[in-house]
Amino acid sequence: AEMKPVLDLLRKSQWRWDFAVASHGASFHAPQEITRILSHSLDYANQARLKVAKVLAVHGFTGDVPMPDISTKGKAQAYIGLDMKQKEGDKEKFLNTVVPEWIKKAKAAGRAIDL
């Protein structure tokens, strides 16, 4: 219950961040609006940081919160438990089995272009 306001702020922040960065052309076509939305995202995230610091302080913790090392894509994938060798194997299998079937069906239906 103590974390609900923090999680709500993080959700608001994430929605705005995702909206802004997922719209690939928005930063070109509407840079001021995207900057405004991103600034709101950062503001919500900062508000969440302040609230979580208060929650931690109430419970007697005033030190730095230990954070995992997610400085690289590989480290982040490992931290969240992705088995990248399995994922890469699954992708390879998909590319070698499913995609050729799609191409075969498209050619048979006259909807494929030979490249």
**Cα separation of 17 and 93, whole Å?**
34
Domain that holds residue 20: 1-63
Q: Confidence band (pLDDT; 50, 70, 90) for 25?
A: confident
13 lies in the same domain as 45: yes
16 occurs within a structural domain = yes
Q: In the prediction, which pLDDT does 79 show?
A: 96
pLDDT value at 115 more than 90: no
The CATH number of residue 39's host domain is 1.20.140.10
**Predicted model pTM:** 0.63
Mean pLDDT within 41-69: 95
Mean pLDDT within 35-40: 95
Question: Nearest 5 degrees, angle CA 29-CA 20-CA 55?
Answer: 155
49 lies in the same domain as 10: yes
pLDDT value at 113 more than 90: no
Q: Is there a contact between 42 and 12 (Cβ–Cβ < 8 Å)?
A: no
70 occurs within a structural domain = no
pLDDT value at 114 more than 80: no
72 occurs within a structural domain = no
Q: In the prediction, which pLDDT does 28 show?
A: 86
32 lies in the same domain as 86: no
5 lies in the same domain as 51: yes
Task: Give the model confidence (pLDDT) of 26-36 as tens digits.
Answer: 888 899 999 99
Cβ neighbors of 37 (< 8 A, separation 6 or more) are 16, 19, 20
Instruction: Count structural domains, the chain.
Output: 2
> Where does a domain end: 19, 40, 63?
63
